[in-house]
Amino acid sequence: MCDHNQGVIIYADGAASPNPGPGGYGVVLFRNGGRQELAAGFRRTTNNRMELMGAIVGLRSLNECETVSTIYSDSKYVVDMFNGGNAAKWRRNAWTRNNGKDKVLNVDLWSELLRLSADRQVKFIWVRGHTDNKENTRCDELAVQARQGKDLPSDEGYETSAVPAPPRQLTLFDMPAVRTIPSPTYPATE
């Protein structure tokens, strides 16, 4: 049983290069005077998915007494969509946005983030990435190292989703082969 709410500070970052491509997340947690670092990589994913995964992994590491969390992230996507209530609104609207016209991407991760934060006081704070914030820099280092790992597992939520591949410029070699269609034969006329 918990005597009081214990606060935890979480720094999280994600990276994918190219995007989409191999990706990873890095997390630094501060709790009870201690520090913990977490990281993992995936063979094909996106930067936004890894930004979300960092926050999710940080929240998953909390115990039931750790109910107050501040998450620092350099992802405006994650910070603004969570703090602004967009993610909760998307869930209420059957994971659509723009009045049902567009499907929300990364539903599996947004759903998990909302589930994990439901019984906690979670606040995201945006920090400028790749500057002098040493914990955000450390998370980025962890994420980059993780995406460079060997034999990375698949990001099932990305690789099995119906997200189309990004468009690319077609070249002459991408053109379908030309088929020769035999000319019809006509009876000779006299």
Active site residues: 13-14, 51, 74, 130, 140
Rounded CA separation 56/10 (Å): 10
Cα–Cα dist 130/4, whole Å: 36
- DSSP symbol at 28: E
CA–CA distance, 171 with 131 (Å, rounded to integer): 40
CA distance 123 to 121: 7
Residue appearing with tokens 């190219």: 18
Helix%, strand%, coil% for the chain, nearest 5: 30, 25, 40
